[in-house]
Amino acid sequence: MVIVNYNIGNISSIANMLQKIGHKATVTNNPDTIANANKIILSGVGAFNNGMLQLSNLNLLEVLNEKVLHDKVPVLGICLGMQLMCKKSEEGTVPGLSWIDAEVIRFRNSDLFQDMRIPNIGWNDLKFEKKSKLFTDIDDPKFYFLHSYHLNINKSDSTSTTILSTSHYHYDFISAIEQDNILGVQFHPEKSRKYGMKLLKNFVELY
């Protein structure tokens, strides 16, 4: 299993949590190492454009597409990592990985939410929409969020993307998705204590 190191995010926290539950992950940006991975974690915080440019500059786009789209290796996107799986983002102009038919949009202020603080920071509940192995034995969960943007799945075209959960911050937004071997969470499991530990354990052991 590898955690993709593209110079964005607190990947050491994810590696440390995996180690606590008895699983070692290789933190790498070496395409050859990624090519041999049986599972991939794509985490990240920060700007969409910068994330995609870092992946491109490190020559990781080809190997990631091969592993995820052709080899169907399980991949977990975390926060920005999940957003990069989309086609595009309002945050920038660089195209995303386009693994899922969705775009990334900023939280909407309106007359109803004039006092809305952005980013959304802190603990929040999940409302499960579908059953998934990712949430096995996770009941009444609370996860830690830190984000200004969220997914908007394209409803006009047929898509196999499943919304696993939503959360509420002034309005409901997508907090976890699954599409075949592709999984994504908007929250930070590495900051979510026992709930995050169990989620990562499920990803490693059940997929």
Catalytic residue of the set 86, 147, 150, 190: 190
Pick from 184, 172, 163: nearest CA to 107: 172
Catalytic residue of the set 79, 86, 150, 178: 79
Residue-wise pLDDT for 2-42, tens only, equals 999 999 877 999 999 999 999 999 999 999 999 999 999 99
Whether 91 is catalytic:
no
- Specify the length of the chain in residues: 207
User: How would you classify residue 155: left for phi > 0, otherwise alpha for psi between -120 and 50, otherwise beta?
Assistant: alpha
pLDDT value of residue 161: 87
pLDDT value of residue 9: 79
Contacts of 206 (CB under 8 A, 6+ apart): 133, 134, 136
pLDDT value of residue 158: 47
pLDDT value of residue 15: 96
Which amino acid, 47? A
Kindly list the averaged pLDDT for each block of 10 residues, start to end, along the chain of length 207.
Answer: 92 94 96 98 94 97 98 98 97 95 88 74 96 94 95 73 94 96 98 96 97
What CA–CA distance (Å, rounded) separates 167 from 150? 11
Whether 190 is catalytic:
yes
Catalytic residue of the set 23, 103, 188, 205: 188
> Is the CATH number 3.40.50.880 carried by domain 2-206?
yes
Can you give the pTM of this predicted structure? 0.95
